[in-house]
Structure 1
Amino acid sequence: MSADPTPASTTEFRALAHARLDGFERAEVPEAPGLRRAAVALCVAAEPEGPLSVLLIRRAYRGRNAGQWALPGGRLEPGETPRAAALRELHEELGIHAEESDVIGALDDFPAASGFAITPFVVALRDLTELRPAPDEVHSVHRIGLRRLAEPDVPHWVSPEEAVPGGLPPGAAPAPPTGIRMLQMRFGPGMTIHAPTGALLFQFREVVLLGRTPAESRVAHFAQPDWTHH
């Protein structure tokens, strides 16, 4: 059995992420009429007496994106930079005070079907003592271990029909095949994540954890399920 390739400490992760992101030529979504911008944090922290993991949330069951899997983040405020927005949202949603020096770098903008261009920032926390989720925005907080994220059985490619939550209704006929395949990041029972969040986790895995080249790990073309289009 091969050794675990994922870093074992925050110090190791920061060194690895810097090495792989400092030279990463990220793809940006250009300005366009009607385009809105958002930012999210791929926040890496050590579990209490455990391995490193990425923080994931399930949004509150009300308002925009009710009940969906997400990374901490949201839309930019007027005059705000994407980096500042990611750090602000991390604090507002989870009570985490991250410093500028905790931001390692950014991955590709993702052009979401909702009309937002999402900029993901990789954040490595030196210390995470307490989470304070905002109940009006966050239903629950989850951790995805870096080792699990890097495992080969996590990414799956399915047809749009297979991406319907719970499968097709009884008696419903599947739509004609289109040739489109959707990414599913399958972390365990009840935890299957699609784009945009699944795409951002996939690129983080490919670039930062597995050392793939930008050409091997672009995600802007990944299709999204219909329920994420708002």
Structure 2
Amino acid sequence: MRFDDDLKETIRGRLATFDICCRTEGHGLKRAAVAITVVARDENDAYGKPGDAAFLLTRRASKLRAHAGQLALPGGRIDAGETPQQAALRELEEEVGLSLDASNVLGTLDDYPTRSGYLIAPVVVWSPRAAAVSPNPDEVEHLYRIPLSELRRPESPEIFSIPESDRPVIRLPTPMVNGHINAPTAALLYQFREVALEGRATRVEHFDQPVWAWR
């Protein structure tokens, strides 16, 4: 998928017409936001083609107290007085050094409740081609630029059952991370694919996470 204005406006338009399902009251969950950030592919990356669009994915630093070493989208807790969009942009700058503003926000997707006690608001952000990134080593062990085409792999998503839950678990295979992207990140990216890239109104709240991600 080409990183160009046509893609940008396609994503913006599809998010604008998507009927968001948000849950902000009465669930006892801590509010959080993540940035699904569309960027140009790194020209030095072996995956994808020059001019491809990609998204940013981090591997969390191993010394973090929560979810150390896991693959995640840039994001974190929503501070008092912040909107999800403001929190996602702040966390994007704090984690990967990418400084953007509200004009770069294309839209949002459904809030997703996690087993670890968070209600995540996914915010879709467009990064200018020349924007620089500088990952914070205290928070990010590795920063990936995953081509959007990886979300369209024929075998993706993988949906399966586990004995600990009556809900199906979702994960996205990609060799770029030597394995899989697991939920909750997989659920958010799958909805991004369905809504923003394919134009299909798809819900993902019913998808569960692997047991090791419940903590």
Matches within 5 A, 1:6-85: 6=1, 8-32=2-26, 34-49=28-43, 50=50, 51-62=52-63, 63-85=65-87
Q: Percent identity?
A: 43
How far has the Cα of 1:28 moved from its partner?
0.4
Amino acid at match of 2:118: F
State whether structure 2 residue 192 is matched by structure 1 residue 204: yes
Given that residues 83 and 121 in structure 1 are in contact (C-alpha distance below 8 angstroms), is that contact kept between their aligned partners in structure 2? yes
CA distance in 2, matches of 1:153, 1:226: 22
Matches within 5 A, 1:120-131: 120-131=122-133
Q: Identify which of 128, 153, 158 aligns with 2:155.
A: 153
How far has the Cα of 1:210 moved from its partner?
1.1
The structure that has the greater radius of gyration is 1
Runs (4 or more) in structure 1 with deviation over 2 Å come to 127-130, 177-181
Query: Which residue of structure 2 lines up, in the alignment, with residue 163 of structure 1?
Result: none
How far has the Cα of 1:182 moved from its partner?
1.2
CA distance in 1, matches of 2:86, 2:189: 21
Query: Which residue of structure 1 lines up, in the alignment, with residue 169 of structure 2?
Result: 182
State whether structure 2 residue 126 is matched by structure 1 residue 141: no
CA distance in 1, matches of 2:36, 2:185: 10
Moved more, 103-112 or 119-128: 119-128
- Can you list the C-alpha shifts for 1:89-130, whole angstroms capped at 9, x where unaligned? 000000001121110000000011111110001101123443
CA distance in 1, matches of 2:70, 2:32: 16
Give me the TM-score of the superposition, normalised by structure 2: 0.90
CA distance in 1, matches of 2:71, 2:138: 15
Structure 2: which 5+ runs fail to align?
44-49
Q: Identify which of 85, 88, 112 aligns with 1:86.
A: 88
Give me the TM-score of the superposition, normalised by structure 1: 0.84
How far has the Cα of 1:178 moved from its partner?
6.4
- Can you list the C-alpha shifts for 1:131-163, whole angstroms capped at 9, x where unaligned? 211111101011211122123222111232xxx
Given that residues 42 and 145 in structure 2 are in contact (C-alpha distance below 8 angstroms), is that contact kept between their aligned partners in structure 1? no
Q: Identify which of 182, 185, 190 aligns with 1:194.
A: 182
Query: Which residue of structure 2 lines up, in the alignment, with residue 220 of structure 1?
Result: 205
Given that residues 98 and 131 in structure 2 are in contact (C-alpha distance below 8 angstroms), is that contact kept between their aligned partners in structure 1? no
- Can you list the C-alpha shifts for 1:175-200, whole angstroms capped at 9, x where unaligned? 5x966431110012623012110000
CA distance in 2, matches of 1:118, 1:18: 20
- Can you list the C-alpha shifts for 1:36-94, whole angstroms capped at 9, x where unaligned? 10000000011244211010000011211001110000001122111100000000000
The structure-2 alpha-carbon separation of the partners of 1:129 and 1:104, relative to structure 1 and needing over 3 Å to count, comes to closer
The structure-2 alpha-carbon separation of the partners of 1:129 and 1:178, relative to structure 1 and needing over 3 Å to count, comes to closer
